[in-house]
Amino acid sequence: MNHIFWLLPGRLAGRPGPNREPWDLSAVRGLGIDAVLSVNDGEDCNRAELAALGFDHCVVPLPPNEPPQPGDEETCYIGLPAAHDFVIAQHRCDRAVLVHCSAGNDRTGLVMSHFLIREFGLDVETAIARVREVRPRAMTARGWESLSRRVLARLRES
């Protein structure tokens, strides 16, 4: 399906949100995706349709600002563990997760990088590089690369 990129095939995918690139949830389901993590405000996600198709859905809003604004770093620091907990809970039930924000770049890439750090012990640079292998535009919006590095380093140390 167009616009979906897999960080971990069959386990963790990303894409732009339906507000940017409309999606066919039946087709998404057909790819073996069982859960959707919205790291925007869930804009244009049809929650009734998600539920009817058997998706678990979680919204963990991370800031959309470009460049990041005061307070955005702290919001990410608080939100990333909640996003990670949702992904891990799904994986424990053998459910694949699709992460999206609006464009599927910065917030989605940040969540994926954090996952790699927590689950595989990668350092910040390696995690970001790995995400960029599947999504080259990840964390490239003005100010997002530096914000991502700071947040990920802080979370890795905690």
Q: What is the pLDDT of residues 61-83, one digit of tens each?
A: 999 999 999 999 999 999 999 99
Compute the CA torsion angle 92, 73, 137, 109 (nearest 10 deg).
Answer: 0
Which positions of the chain have pLDDT values less than 70? 1
What pLDDT sits at residue 103?
A: 96
How many domains does the chain fold into?
1
Q: How many CB atoms lie under 10 A from the CB of residue 113?
A: 29
* Structural domain harbouring 23: 5-157
What pLDDT sits at residue 1?
A: 61
pTM: 0.97
The residue to which tokens 């799904």 are assigned: 90
In sequence order, the 6+-apart residues with CB closer than 8 A to the CB of 17 are 38, 40, 43, 44, 45, 100, 101, 102, 103, 104
In CATH, what number is assigned to the domain containing residue 102? 3.90.190.10
Can you list the pairs that 137-140 forms with residues at least 24 positions away whose Cβ atoms lie under 8 Å?
137/103, 137/105, 138/105, 138/106, 138/108, 138/109, 138/112, 138/113, 139/105, 139/106, 139/109, 139/110, 139/113, 140/105, 140/106
Question: In 20-142, where does DSSP find H-type helix?
Answer: 25-30, 47-52, 72-92, 106-120, 124-134
Q: Are strands 33-38 and 12-15 parallel, antiparallel or unpaired?
A: unpaired
Token pair recorded at residue 13 = 């995918």
- Taken in order 107, 119, 79, 13, the sign of the CA dihedral is positive
What pLDDT sits at residue 59?
A: 98
What pLDDT sits at residue 43?
A: 85
